[in-house]
Amino acid sequence: MIRKVRVTRRRDPEKLSGDLHPLAARVLAMRGQIGAPDYGLGRMLGPSLSGLGQATEILAAAVQAGDRILVVGDFDADGATGTALAVRALTAMGARDVCWKVPDRFLHGYGLGPALVDECLKLEPRVIVTVDQGISSIAGVAKARQAGVRVVVTDHHLPGNELPEADAIVNPALPGDRFPSKSLAGVGVVFYTLAALRGRLRELGWFDSRREPRMDTWLDLVALGTVADLVALDENNRILVHQGLKRIAGGHCVPGIQALLEVAGRNPRNVTAADLGFFVGPRLNAAGRLEDMSVGIECLLCDRADPARAIARRLDELNRNRQGIQAEMQAQAEVRVEATMEKIDGPVSGLCIFDDQWHAGVVGLVASRLKDRLQRPIIAMAPAEEGSREIKGSGRSPVGVHMRDLLVDIDTCNPGLIDRFGGHARAAGLSLDRARVEAFQAAFDAALEGREFAPERIESDGEVPPELFSVESALALVEAGPWGQGWPEPLFDGRFRILHRSVVGSHHLKLRLEPDSGGPEVEAIAFRAGALLSRDLPEPLHVTFRLEVNRWMGRSTVQLNIQHLVEGVDYK
């Protein structure tokens, strides 16, 4: 369902590049970019993260000695792509014994915990490399090192007050780290670690008698993990994503990514960052949410098309199951929220909701939807598994509230209340004992008491002149990307007269519109908004939208992808 919002229009730029399509030039200038951006590989930052020296010495010695290297990832798309990248790159560099393992969300929880280390030790590794996790794994790292295993932590999550006593830590979020891009995803951190390793092995003459691999070979994996993890697309991340998208579009990606795009009905030749974020990422994540991310990693490690397609179909099935579970949980959560808000006298600062029947792998998605609607910090919680005393919580917060720091404050004021927690500014996870759920809810409310939140601000790139409603304009906007967090995809607003509306695909609203100022008719779609078919809508209809190319039956037409109903407009 699309919601009503107030829109703030970005200020029209004073200067535009004459070498670009006028709409793309305007959008880029509104983001401070005059002219076409240069996303060439030569502009990518070099490997200068702190800890790379120690990490590469350990890994280079293991590669040369033929020691077993165990890559331990995470159960989301970032961790899965990073794990696949590490296994592929280490093997290509000549490592003779590389294996991998990923924690089970329900059995092990997040990170390199002691229980997971016990299972890792059965594989008899000489070196463990974590991917997208490990910075908060104090006990697990200590246990591995006590067993004589060297541990290299690669992560991008914010560190706590205490760091694990690993043999090496590579993390741009470490205090004092001077790497300019603090927004690397976990897959980006491991990419830089492996790039530095390749350089060290070259210095040691390792490639004098064997083929030296190209690091850009794996940028398809880096692009997918970076987009799926919703990290800010600063310039360096945009270079990584742009180059990865080029590889996918050119048919030079791993078979698993191609299969996931195909099963989602997306043409790899026309792939965009949005395709990775909205179609491929969720199918990968479904494995980690409902079963075991090993399925997703196996898909990304497939070297043949047919097995990759078979696994992709399994991931698509899991994603459909996830959607059904989420829809049911979301409906229950909405009822719970409405009942809670009726009991509260005054504004709501945030909500922490728990249901004994919910699925722990899906609570983050429920929290995210509620956060979007209420623009308040939300934590949704469920048992780690049926009948478990361990409760898993997932939090999401709007701009203005740092979710992980909020958990730090709660933990500081209530020692022993939370068993484990970690995360980012906008998203975090935690676990605690069932007996402490109500105490945590009270502590959460207390931590937010008195906080005021600014109304949600949706920024618009303004109106589109009717003559620019064209496939050419939509393609120019795609070419000007990639777009994502911190470098927002173009969003316009405008007023239209409704000529026709219908429901397609059971619950999507299809519209034929005419610009209120005059101009050609244009097709539009509002996903999950079929309920608006029978409702009175204002005339003219004021909406925000993205300009897209709709490809169907060999034809390409321009289409407005409607995002919001607009209640009013402010100006920067």
Write out pLDDT tens, residues 57-87.
Answer: 999 999 999 999 999 999 999 999 999 999 9
Please list the alpha-helical segments (H only) found in 469-519. 471-479
- Do 226 and 298 fall within a single domain? yes
What does the DSSP 8-state code read for residue 278? I
Q: Is the peptide bond before 540 cis (omega within 30 degrees of 0)?
A: yes
**310 shares a domain with 220:** yes
Asked whether residue 166 falls in the same domain as residue 295, the answer is: yes
What was the pLDDT predicted at 359? Answer: 93
Do 417 and 491 fall into the same domain?
Answer: no
Q: Which one of 416, 448, 480 terminates a domain?
A: 448
Would you say residue 433 lies in a domain? yes
Structural domain total, the chain: 3
CATH of the domain at 89: 3.90.1640.30
Cβ 530 vs Cβ 551: under 8 Å: no
Last residue of a domain, one of 428, 448, 468: 448
**Bond prior to 213 in cis (omega within 30° of 0):** no
100 lies in the same domain as 234 = yes
- Whether the predicted pLDDT of 535 surpasses 90: no
- Could you tell me if residue 274 is inside a domain? yes
- In terms of DSSP bridges, do strands 150-154 and 127-131 run parallel, antiparallel, or are they unpaired? parallel
- In this structure, what CATH number is given to the domain that contains residue 531? 2.40.50.460
Instruction: Output the CA torsion sign for 177, 182, 188, 191.
Output: negative
Whether residue 343 lies inside any domain: the answer is no
Alpha-carbon distances of 243 from 44, 191, 230, rounded to whole Å:
10, 14, 17
pLDDT digits (tens, 9 = 90+) for 432-467: 999 999 999 999 999 998 787 777 779 999 999 999
Report residue 499's pLDDT band, with 50, 70 and 90 as the boundaries.
very high
End-to-end Cα distance, the chain: 28
Half-sphere exposure of 105 (CA within 13 A, CB side): 29
Residue 419's H or E segment, with its range, is none
Residues 424 and 466 in one domain: no
- The residue among 418, 448, 478 that closes a domain is 448
For 6-45, give the secondary structure using H, E and C: EEEECCCCCCCCCCCCHHHHHHHHHCCCCCCCCCCHHHCC
On whether residue 325 sits in a domain, the answer given is no
Asked if residue 377 has pLDDT above 90, the reply is yes
Same domain, 367 and 254: no
pLDDT per residue as tens digits for the range 192-217:
999 999 999 999 999 999 999 999 99
The first and second tokens of residue 210, run together, are: 């064997």
Residue ranges making up the domain that contains 539: 3-34+457-571
Residue 276 pLDDT grade (very low, low, confident, very high; cuts 50, 70, 90): very high
Strand 69-72: give its sheet, edge to edge.
Answer: 98-101, 69-72, 127-131, 150-154, 168-170
Instruction: Tell me what pLDDT residue 346 has.
Output: 64
Residues facing 460 on adjacent strands = 9
Tell me the per-residue pLDDT of 109-149, one tens digit each, with 9 for 90 and over: 788 999 999 999 999 999 999 999 999 999 999 999 999 99
Tell me the pairing of strands 420-423 and 427-433. antiparallel
Based on the fold, state whether residues 276 and 396 are members of the same structural domain.
Answer: no
Query: Please, are residues 503 and 510 in contact by the beta-carbon 8 Å criterion?
Result: yes
pLDDT recorded at residue 345: 64
Both 433 and 312 in a single domain? no
Residues 6+ apart with CB under 8 A from 76: 132, 228, 229, 284, 285, 288, 293
53 in the same domain as 29? no
Residue 549 lies in a domain: yes
pTM for the full predicted model: 0.90
Which pLDDT band holds residue 519 (cuts at 50, 70, 90)? confident
For residues 59 and 199, state if they share a domain. Answer: yes
Please check whether residue 444 is in contact with residue 352, taking contact to mean a CB–CB distance below 8 angstroms.
yes
Q: How far apart are CA 324 and CA 174, in angstroms?
A: 39
Residue 64 lies in a domain: yes
**Cα gap 472→451, rounded to integer Å:** 46
Residue 379 lies in a domain: yes
Decide if pLDDT at 339 tops 90: no
Q: Which residues pair with 130 in a beta bridge?
A: 72, 153
Q: How many CA atoms lie within 13 A of 174 on its CB side?
A: 22
Asked if the structure places residue 324 within a domain, the reply is no
Cα separations in angstroms, 112 against 52, 115, 392, 452: 20, 8, 17, 37
Mean pLDDT lowest among 94-98, 342-346, 553-557: 342-346
Do 161 and 275 lie in one domain? The reply is yes
